[in-house]
Amino acid sequence: MNLTLKIWRQKNAASPGCFETHEARDVSPDMSFLEMLDVVNERLIAGGQEPFVFDSDCREGICGTCSLVINGIPHGSRKGTTVCQLHLRYFKDGQTVTIEPWRARAFPIVKDLIVDRAAFDRIMQAGGFVSVNTGNAPEANALPVSKEIADLAMDAAACIGCGACVAVCKNASAMLFVAAKVSHLNYLPQGKAEKDRRVKNMVSQMDKEGFGNCTVTGSCEAVCPKEISLDFIAKMNRDYAVALVKGELKKSAAGGVG
Amino acid sequence: MSLDARIPSGPLAQKWDRYKSDMKLVNPANKRKFDVIVVGTGLSGGAAAATLAELGYQVKAFCFQDTPRRAHSIAAQGGINAAKNYQNDGDSVFRLFYDTLKGGDFRAREANVFRLAQVSASIIDQCAAQGVPFAREYGGTLTNRSFGGAQVSRTFYARGQTGQQLLLGAYQAMCRQISLGNIRMYPRTEMLDLVVVDGVARGIVVRNLVTGEISLHSADAVVLATGGYANVFFLSTNAIGCNVTATYRAYKKGAFFANPCYTQIHPTCIPVSGDHQAKLTLMSESLRNDGRVWVPRRKEDCGRPPASVPEADRDYYLERKYPSYGNLAPRDIASRAAKEVCDTGRGVGPGGRGVYLDFSDAIKRSGEDAIRDRYGNLFEMYERITGENAYRQPMHIYPAVHYAMGGTWVDYGLMSTLPGLFVVGEANFSDHGANRLGASGLMQGLADGYFILPYTIGHYFASTKQVKVPASHAEFKKAEEGVRQFTRRLLSINGQRSATSFHKELGRLMWENCGMARTRQSLEINLKRIPELREEFWKNVKVTGSGEELNQNLEHAGRVADFLEFAELLCLDALHREESCGGHFRVEHQTEDGEAKRDDANFAYVAAWEFKGADKKPELHKEPLVCEEVHMATRSYK
Amino acid sequence: MNFLMKIWNSSLGKKYIMGISGFLLVFFIVAHMMGNFQVFLGPYWINTYGQFLHDRHEILWPARIVLLTMIVLHIWSAFKLRAENRAARPVGYAGDPASFAASYASRTIMMSGIIIAAFVIFHLLHYALGVRAVNLTGIDFSALRDSAGRPDIYLMLLLGFSKWPVAVFYIIAVGLLCLHLSHGMRAMFQSVGWKWTFGGVSHLPDQIARWFAVVIFIIYTSVPVAVMCGFGKAYREAAVQHLAASAVSGKEVDR
């Protein structure tokens, strides 16, 4: 089959980008989308042209590295699929396909289709952990966790940190990512001790990074390759409100300010 | 040079405790004076970086991914073993130790494997405390599943994402230390050389993959946690970025490389669909619990739709050859059996390289819903990739390269032959011998990172005289110049072929001649062809762009250049090992019924190779493997 | 104060303000609806109710102040959030694709809000301030009195909705309001973290939001629809005749 590709080309964050049109001729419907791009790149190299750079690593839908917007939809239109697992059989012969990077102020473009998602790391560093040193741990079964809670935490923890939620959101909001991370640890008894601190610090870092706000459109949930639920955002909103109020109460109890 | 593994004396069960009580300690106030470089942030590297920082060391961590959370440990699906005996089914440290050692065909170091089994229980405690959402029973306790090669239920798991969840645990611990200023993280940075000063590892040369800037980093110890080399086969279940560069360049600086020929081929992967393919996808081994593996009895039936092949004309070859284990035969054995039937021309699918994994009996027996319950996500993944519905027709599967048991040689304290260079996780020659059992790769990575290296590195600091070597030292400059020259050379060739085309060709040679079955002849072909290919590479490779920018083409070319040298070492090791064991099957050495024939009298040793210079044959050093407590039995799964 | 600033300065805090102000406005909408619905009970009820509200300054003014504050907060946070959201994506996607998988209500929330605001201004001019120019009848609504000498709200409604452009604008605006509410209430529940499964209904607050919007729409539009279908026609025509007669005789309108 043949495809016409409109691919984003951008030298670096400072220079402006534009679309280039390339033909992907005689590609097989059994190829994954990224394998098709590999082929296009190989042909570009053979012709002495610069290949396009794009991020990918595991190519089995779990590392969260790949990050392409295909015809306006991050990871393409297949439900619960990362772009590395999107196959060409879901495209029509002769179709024109637009390929762009994630677009958000908090994810500056590094080159072509690669963006810098370090903002996610900084959010995690603000509180996305349980403060337990190696060796501190009690016997694992000493703290029972109900199956429902463990399953719920796992649903949240399934997030692969790809950033498709930010890319698809009309506001470039990182709420689904942050909520998944907060909820994963806030649900579990192991993470309860620093629940309030965690949500406050992570939300504050999220705000500093310049992501937009949640307007509950549900686009993030629909595009998420791990189908993380919008409910976690509600959970985070709740936790944040509780943390704010509790923080104030504690302060007044201590009789101090700020 | 003699290879001293520095295994503590005393009974097997007391060695690690004895090591810990005898080791020298670093005063807490002095720890912050020590700098440690950790390269690679998967399970072992991430765990090591976090734990060392918690202890007070100043850590610099490097990874080539855009964030430490994406290392390929993330892709492990099945689970992690631990001798907790929560199921009360008779598990114990000794049993886990013995299963692992036997699974590795008795080609691992007994003391290391025992220690691994000992610390396994602490790993689960640690990970649960970090918030890893392990699967639980209704009562709130942790649940287990069984896995290949064991008769007890000791595998802990987090849905189909055990690797990701454990990695997130280590990553989160790292995040905490980064926020506390104890770890400086360098993502999108690739190590391109090791700096050795007066025979001691003192630092590394790295390239910033975004800007192309080359920088030097000195430290009191360097830890390599850079994973395995399965991508030398081009097609493997490894991530696109996995490479041998860090350990191979350390090898060239004097760190011996051990057992490179031990490579694991996983039996249940989705077959190659065409030339374009960039990687292979693993389907969990657990599928073999309900699926039956078969091929048509006659070649002529291979093209027919599977449903139209009558029962009598099907060859359920695993059940036929291994009646007691049947479809659950260990990975190496099941893989080889698949290759054998395909070699007789009875393979199915594109190129005749595939066998059926058929669920129709299981669906008839338990109903489609029950099967969907157990494997729904895997069937979905299969459909995403192949477009086929495995409830209606059998899956096509074929073996693929999955894991590297070999790696940098390390002593009991995980230090290589270069003082100050420690190697952990899949990157070291590890505790898996000649074959790794399912669910023990995660265990080893975390054991090394959380519970072993943090002790042994302290002992190294406390027991050897430490001198600071700044990055301005002449050796650093020399190494930097070497790296720059290497990059310039790659960019200046401007030939006709892409690095990928060389990688593919190398992969084909390795798969054909050094894959599931190896012969003296096939290995000799490779030993002749690989240097030729390498020569062509250095004359005819085409690398576009420049070194001062993000250039994936250049990164890949550098990795392929190392694979082209390393592949030769792998074949050399495979050629010298005149026996069959685990993942290394030499056709000349098999029993009458086609099983692996080990030669304990002559080959019960670790083969550690020393680099002697470009185009010179590496020198073989042997570390004898002595089993003090167990008998080296023959593996049989009949 | 510090606490309020903290809320105002955080993204989630602004959503709380938006949600809670919206929630209080919903209370007003419900109260207003109950007032309107009395039209079906006849002039006595609704005019008594109107007089009651009018006379109770201790209720009226605090309510007006709260209402106005909520409107200001609601609009202010909306524009502030909007500006931040715009800034979060300086470069958009090719061809400006519609928000993926988002409901119509959520995509148009800003537009429906602005039109509702415009309608509210019209509505205030129309009925509350009785500006003659906007009611298309040529009658001064503020001068209408019932037989007890009270402002004749009953007649005002009948007259107001007797002009079809007014009634249609009203129905459209209420429609938009309900569209706004169907997403806004859901978002409000989400913003404050109410998203429970109760009595076997998953996401009960979402369901409430959806049905609430439908009920509000039916009840609000029932008044103009009834008037256009002829409800109170006799009363209205009699009043108009009377008005015309008294205009001729120059007498005080007193019925």
Q: Measured between beta carbons, which residues in chain A are less than 8 angstroms from residue C84? A: 171, 212-213
Q: What is the mean pLDDT of residues A180-184?
A: 98
Residue B1 pLDDT: 54
**Is B548 inside any structural domain?**
yes
Report chain A residues whose CB lies below 8 A from the CB of B279: 59-60
Same domain flag for A123 and A105? no
User: Does one domain contain both A107 and A124?
Assistant: no
- Identify the CATH number of the domain in which residue A180 sits: 1.10.1060.10
The minimum CA-CA distance between B404 and chain A, rounded to whole Å, is 17
Q: What is the mean pLDDT of chain B?
A: 94
| Chain mean pLDDT for chain C | 90
Using alpha carbons only, what angle is made at residue B315 by residues B309 and B318, rounded to the nearest 5 degrees?
140
Cα distance from A238 to chain B (closest Cα, Å)?
A: 21
Domain boundary among A65, A91, A111: A111
Q: What is the pLDDT of residues B378-389, one digit of tens each?
A: 898 899 889 999
Residues of C in contact with A204 (CB under 8 A): 10
* Domain identity same for B394 and B490: no
pLDDT in tens, B473-484: 999 999 999 999
- In-domain check, residue B630: no
CA pair distance B356, B350, nearest whole angstrom: 13
Is residue C254 over pLDDT 60? no
**What residue in A sits closest to B546 (Cα-Cα)?**
A50
Note which residues in 207-236 of chain A have CB less than 8 A from chain C. 207, 210-219, 221-223, 230-231, 233-236
Q: Tell me the pLDDT band of A255, cut-offs 50, 70 and 90.
A: low
Q: Are residues B394 and B479 in the same domain?
A: no
pLDDT band for position A257 (cuts 50, 70, 90):
very low
Closest chain A residue to B447 measured between Cα atoms?
Answer: A134
Residue-by-residue DSSP string for A135-189: T-PPPGGGS---HHHHHHHHHHHT-----HHHHHSTT-B-HHHHHHHHHHHHHSH
Angle at B231 between CA B317 and CA B64, to 5 degrees: 140
In a domain, B46, yes or no: no
To the nearest whole angstrom, how far is the Cα of A139 from the nearest Cα of chain C?
A: 34
Residue A31 touches partner B, C-beta closer than 8 Å: yes
* A 48-87 → B contacts, CB under 8 A: 48-51, 53, 55-65, 78, 80-81, 85, 87
User: Which of B429, B433, B7 has its CA nearest to residue B258?
Assistant: B429
Report whether pLDDT(B321) > 70. Answer: yes
Question: pLDDT tier at B377 (50, 70, 90 boundaries)?
Answer: confident
The residues spanned by each domain of chain C are: 10-84+108-249
Chains that touch C (3 or more CB pairs under 8 A): A
Report DSSP letters for B316-355, one per residue.
Answer: -HHHHH-TTTGGG--HHHHHHHHHHHIIIII--SGGG--E
pLDDT tops 90 at residue B176: yes
Q: How far is CA A26 from CA A38, A68, B278, B498, in A?
A: 13, 22, 17, 20
Domain count, chain B: 2
Q: Please, which chains are in contact with A (at least 3 CB pairs closer than 8 A)? A: B, C
Question: Quick check: B47 and A117 CB within 8 A?
Answer: no
A31/C contact by beta carbon, under 8 A: no
Q: What integer pLDDT is reported at residue B473 of this predicted model?
A: 97
**Model pLDDT, residue A258:** 39
Taking the Cβ of residue A69 and every Cβ of chain C, the question of whether any pair is shorter than 8 Å is answered with yes
C140 pLDDT band (50/70/90 cuts)? Answer: confident
Nearest to B545 among A50, A80, A143 (CB): A50
At B446 the pLDDT is 98
CA distance A75 to A98: 12
Alpha helices for B74-161 (secondary structure H): 93-103, 110-130
Global pTM? 0.95
Crossing angle (nearest 10°) for helices B453-463 and B43-55: 50
Q: What is the pLDDT of residues B295-317, one digit of tens each?
A: 999 999 999 999 999 999 999 99
Q: Would the CB atoms of C84 and A248 count as touching at under 8 Å?
A: no
Q: Is pLDDT of A51 > 80?
A: yes
Contact B276 A61 (CB under 8 A): no
Q: Give per-residue pLDDT as tens, B229-272.
A: 999 999 999 999 999 999 999 999 999 999 999 999 999 999 99
CA nearest to C13 within chain A: A241
Query: How many residues does the structure list for chain C?
Result: 255
Report the residue from A203, A204, A216 with minimal CB separation from C190.
A216
Catalytic residues of B: 331
pLDDT, tens digit, 9 for 90 and up, residues A90-112? 999 999 999 999 999 999 999 99
> How do residues A158-170 score in pLDDT, each as one tens digit?
999 999 999 999 9
Q: Pick B93 or B326 by higher pLDDT.
A: B93
User: What is the Cα–Cα distance from B79 to B66, expressed in whole angstroms?
Assistant: 25
Give residue B149's pLDDT: 67
Assigned domain for B554 exists: yes
The pLDDT of residue B378 is: 85
Chain A CB contacts of C107 below 8 Å: 170, 217
* CATH (residue range C10-84+108-249): 1.20.1300
Q: Which residue of B has its CA nearest to A88?
A: B385
Boundaries of domain holding A25: 3-111
We report the CATH number of the domain holding residue A71 as 3.10.20.30
Model confidence at A254, in pLDDT bands (50, 70, 90)? Answer: low
A contact residues 147-166, partner B, Cβ 8 Å cutoff = 147, 150-151, 153-154, 157-158, 160-161
How many residues belong to chain B?
638
Q: Which of residues 151-210 of A touch C (CB under 8 A)?
A: 168, 170-173, 203-204, 206-207, 210
Residue B67 lies in a domain: no
- Nearest CA distance, C189 vs chain A (angstrom): 8
Looking at residue C96, its amino acid is: D
Range B519-547 average pLDDT: 97
Kindly identify which residue of chain A lies nearest to residue B173, measuring between CA atoms: A129
β pairing state of B221-224 and B421-423: parallel
Nearest chain A alpha carbon to B56: A133
What digits encode the pLDDT tens for the residues C211-220?
A: 999 999 999 9
Asked if residue A223 and residue A200 are part of one domain, the reply reads yes
Contact residues on chain A for C92, CB-CB shorter than 8 A: 103
Q: Above 90 in pLDDT, residue C2? A: no
The residue whose two tokens read 């991370």 is A181
Percent of chain A's residues with pLDDT above 90: 93
φ and ψ of B542, to 5 deg: -120, 115
Chains C and B touch (3+ CB pairs under 8 A): no
Would the CB atoms of B126 and A190 count as touching at under 8 Å?
Answer: no
CB–CB contact A210 C88 (8 Å): yes
Find the domain containing B356 and state its range. 265-400
Q: Are residues A125 and A246 in the same domain?
A: yes
Say whether A218 and C88 touch across the interface (CB within 8 A): no
Top residue of B44, B70, B209, B555 to mutate, by most chain A CBs within 10 Å, is B70
Q: What would the two tokens of residue B297 be? A: 């009895």
In terms of domains, do A146 and A213 share one? yes
For residue C253, the model assigns a pLDDT of: 46
Taking only residues 159 to 198 of chain A, the set having a beta carbon closer than 8 angstroms to any beta carbon of chain B reads 160-161, 184-185, 188, 190-191
The average pLDDT across C121-133 equals 89
Closest chain A C-alpha to B307 CA, distance in angstroms: 23
Domain final residue pick, A61, A96, A111:
A111
Nearest to A213 among C9, C85, C186 (CB): C85
Q: What would the pLDDT profile of B99-135 be if each residue is shown by its tens digit?
A: 999 989 999 999 999 999 999 999 999 999 999 999 9
Predicted ipTM of the assembly: 0.96
How many structural domains does chain A have?
Answer: 2
Among residues B592, B426, B421, B565, the alpha carbon closest in space to that of B486 is found at B565
Instruction: Copy the structure tokens of residue A114.
Output: 């690669």
Which range has the worst mean pLDDT, A45-49, B328-332, B613-617?
B328-332
pLDDT value at position C250? 55
Per-residue confidence (pLDDT) for residue C255, from 0 to 100? 46
**DSSP percent split of chain C into helix, strand, coil, nearest 5:** 75, 0, 20
- What kind and span of H or E run contains C242? helix C233-249
Give contacts of B210 with chain A, Cβ < 8 Å: 110-111
Which residue, A111, A140, A159, sits at the end of a domain?
A111
Report residue C199 as tokens: 């009595």
A65 and A133 fall within a common domain:
no
Neighbors of chain B with 3 or more C-beta pairs under 8 Å: A
Average of pLDDT values for B585-606? 93
Lowest mean pLDDT among B276-285, B533-542, B576-585, C40-49: B276-285
